[in-house]
Amino acid sequence: MSTATSQPLVFWKDLSPSPVPLEPATPFSPRVLIVGGGVIGLVTAWTLLDKGYHVTILAKEWASFGKEQRLTSQIAGALWEYPPAVCGQHTDAISLRHSRKWCMVSYHVWDAIAAKPDLAREAGVSVKPSDFFFPFPIDEDPSQLAKMDEIAASGVRGFRHSQSIVQERNVNPEYGAVDAYELLAPVIDTDRAMTWLMDLVQRKGAKLVTRTLRGDLLDQEQALRAEYAADVIVNATGIAGTELAGDPTCYPIRGGLLRVINDGSDFPVIDAALSISADVANEIVFLVPRNDKILIIGGITEPHEDDLDYTLDTPIIKRMRARCEAFLPQLKKARLDPDYPIAQGLRPFRKHNVRVERELRPVAGESIVKYSRIIHSYGHGGAGWSLAFGCAADLLALVEEALLDKAPTPMATEADQIRRHKEETDVRIMARL
C-alpha cells in the first residue's frame, strides 16, 4: 500500500480508469468503510482503491435514472467552477483557501478524462467554454477583479477577458450585462458519470452495500468497524452530516433546474455555459449544456428549505425560466425534456462550509482517551463535482494519519500551519536552552 500524502492526485499516475487498481490490495491491506454513495463517496473510493486499500461503500440509495427523484449528485449542475461558485454560499476563509486547491486538482483530472474521446464519452465528461457575465466593468470591482486574476493565474485553459463575449453569446443587450470573462471548464453529464463511477469502483474491487444508518457515527464506530472489518470509516454523506457527524451547523439549500432540448431543432445549439453569479446579481442565471441533447436552466438557492415540492408552476421556477429567457431570448423557443423536465435537490451546506477533517471527538465509551478513526468529507454544497478529487487527495493523508492513531487536528489555513510550525520550533529551541 502506498504512503498517503496530501500531494495533488495526478491522472494516470495516481488514478487510472482501468478496472485493475494501480496498486492491488493484499490480504493485509487496510480496509476502509465509506458511508455515502454520491460523487464524493465514489471518487474517494476510486482514490483509495488505486492506493491499495480494500473499500466497502455503504449507502441508503444509489444513482437512479427513472422519472422519480434522483440523487443530489445527479441533480447538480456539474459545471466545474472556481470558488466561490455561482450559488455563492462558500464564504468561510479556511474552506475557501482549501477549496481553491481542491478545485484545481479536480480540474486537471476531469480535463485529462475529457482529453481521451472514448473515455470522455463513457464517463460523460466534456470541456466547454464557460462564460461569466457582469452588470458592471470587472475592473471597477476589486473583489471580482481579484477573483478573475486568480482564475487567470490558476492553470485553467482558454482564459480570456473581453466585453465582446456579451455580443458573441447573443446575450440580450437590455438585460444589463456589460462585461465577461471565459475559460474552458469541465462539464459532467451526471447520470452517465455516476453510472461510470459506480461500475469503475466495483470493477476495482469495491463492495456496495445498501443500508441506512441512523444516529451519530461516533457512537457506532466500534460496532461498524467490527461488522465490516474496517480500519477506518469515511463519512461522505452530505446533508446527513447533521445526524451522522453530530454537526448542527449542516443545512440544506434547495435548488431546482429545468431541462430543455438543445439539439438545434428549436434554437441554435448552445455549446457554452453561461452564468451570472449570486454575488453579482440578486438572482442567478445558470445555463449549462449537459450533453449533446440537454441544456440545464437554473438556478435557485433557498437556504433551510428541505421540501422537494417544486413543479413547473411553482412561482420561483417560473421566475427562473423568465429570467433566463430575458437574458438569452432564444430560450423562449425551448422545449422541456419530456422524460425529466424538472430536477430538484438539496445542496448539502454547513456553516463553516466544506469539512475534510478527522473526527475531533474521542471514541465514545472509552475510559482513556482514544482517537477516533472516522474521517469526514461533507458540506460541499453545490460544488461536489468541482472539489471531489482535491478532497480525496487530502483525505488520503488523513487515512494514513488515522491508521497511525495520531492525534487529530482541526482544518487550518496555511497561515495557521506556518504559525503552528513556528510555535513548535520555538518550543524545541527553548527546550535546548
104-135 pLDDT, tens digit per residue, is 999 999 999 999 999 999 999 999 999 999 99
Each residue's pLDDT tens digit, 366-383: 666 689 999 999 999 989
Q: What is the pLDDT of residue 6?
A: 67
Q: Which of the residue ranges 138-147, 180-189, 278-287 would you say has the lowest mean pLDDT? A: 278-287
The answer to which of 85-89, 99-103, 121-125 has the lowest mean pLDDT is 85-89
1 in any annotated domain: no
In a domain, 400, yes or no: yes
Q: How confident is the model at residue 351 (pLDDT cuts 50, 70, 90)?
A: confident
Give the pLDDT mean for 16-36: 97
Phi, psi of 347 (to 5 degrees): -70, 130
Annotated binding site for FAD: 72-73, 237
pLDDT for 433 equals 47
Residues annotated within a binding site:
72-73, 237, 347, 382
When pLDDT is cut at 50, 70 and 90, the band that residue 414 belongs to is very low
CA distances from 114 to 108, 261, 291, 292, 295 (A): 10, 23, 13, 15, 19
Q: Starting from the edge strand earliest in sequence, which strands make up the sheet with 31-35, in order?
A: 207-210, 54-59, 31-35, 232-235, 374-378, 355-358
Q: Answer whether residue 364 shows pLDDT above 80.
A: no
22 belongs to a structural domain: no
Summarize the annotated binding site for D-dopa as residue ranges. Answer: 347, 382
- Predicted local distance difference test score (pLDDT) of residue 424: 43
Tell me if 334 is assigned to some domain: yes
Q: Do the domain assignments include residue 14?
A: no
Which whole-number Å values give the CA distances from 391 to 82, 123, 141, in the listed order? 14, 20, 31
Report pLDDT for 17.
97
Distances (CA, A) of 313 to 267, 302, 316, 320: 23, 17, 8, 11
pLDDT band at 262 (very low <50, low <70, confident <90, very high): very high
What is the structure's pLDDT at 3?
40
Please state the rounded mean pLDDT for residues 221-239. Answer: 96
Radius of gyration of the chain (CA): 22
Q: What percent of the chain has pLDDT over 90?
A: 77
Would you state the pLDDT for residue 365?
Answer: 66
Give the CA count within 13 Å in the CB-facing half-sphere of 263: 6
Residue 425 has pLDDT above 80, yes or no: no
Dihedral pair phi/psi, residue 286, rounded to 5°: -145, 105
Per-residue confidence (pLDDT) for residue 238, from 0 to 100:
86
Residue-level pLDDT at 48: 98
What average pLDDT score do residues 254-269 get?
95
Domain-embedded: residue 342: yes
* Cell, residue 67: 422519472
Counting every residue written for the chain, the total comes to 433
Query: Can you list the alpha helix ranges (DSSP code H) found in 134-216?
Result: 142-153, 164-168, 190-203
Would you say residue 415 has pLDDT above 70? no
Whichever domain contains 396, its CATH number is 3.40.50.720
pLDDT at 160 over 80: yes
Burial 174-211 (b: 16+ CB within 10 A, else e): ebbbebbbbbbbbbbbbbbbbbbbbebbeebbbebeee
Q: Is the pTM of this model over 0.75?
A: yes
Range of the domain at 141: 31-421
User: Residue 17 falls within a domain, yes or no?
Assistant: no
Local confidence band at 97 (pLDDT 50, 70, 90 cut-offs) = confident
Q: Give the phi and the psi of residue 269 in degrees, each rounded to 5.
A: -55, 130
Rounded distance between C-alpha atoms, residue 392 and residue 47, angstroms: 7
pLDDT of 419 > 90? The answer is no
Query: In angstroms, rounded to a whole number, what is the distance separating the alpha carbons of residues 210 and 190?
Result: 21
Residue 86 pLDDT grade (very low, low, confident, very high; cuts 50, 70, 90): low
Is the pLDDT at 294 greater than 50, yes or no? yes
Q: Using CA atoms, how far apart are residues 234 and 395, in angstroms rounded to an integer?
A: 9
The grid coordinates listed for 105 are 486538482
Q: Over 70: is that where the pLDDT of 26 sits? A: yes
Q: Count structural domains, the chain.
A: 1
- Mean pLDDT for the stretch of residues 156-175: 97
pLDDT band at 5 (very low <50, low <70, confident <90, very high): very low
| Angle subtended at Cα 355 by Cα 13 and Cα 219, rounded to the nearest 5 degrees | 110
H or E element, residue 46: helix 39-50
Q: What percent of the chain has pLDDT over 70?
A: 91
Which of 25-39, 138-152, 248-262, 344-358 has the least mean pLDDT? Answer: 344-358
Q: Would residue 213 count as lying in a domain?
A: yes
- Which three cell numbers, joined as nine digits, stand for 145? 477583479
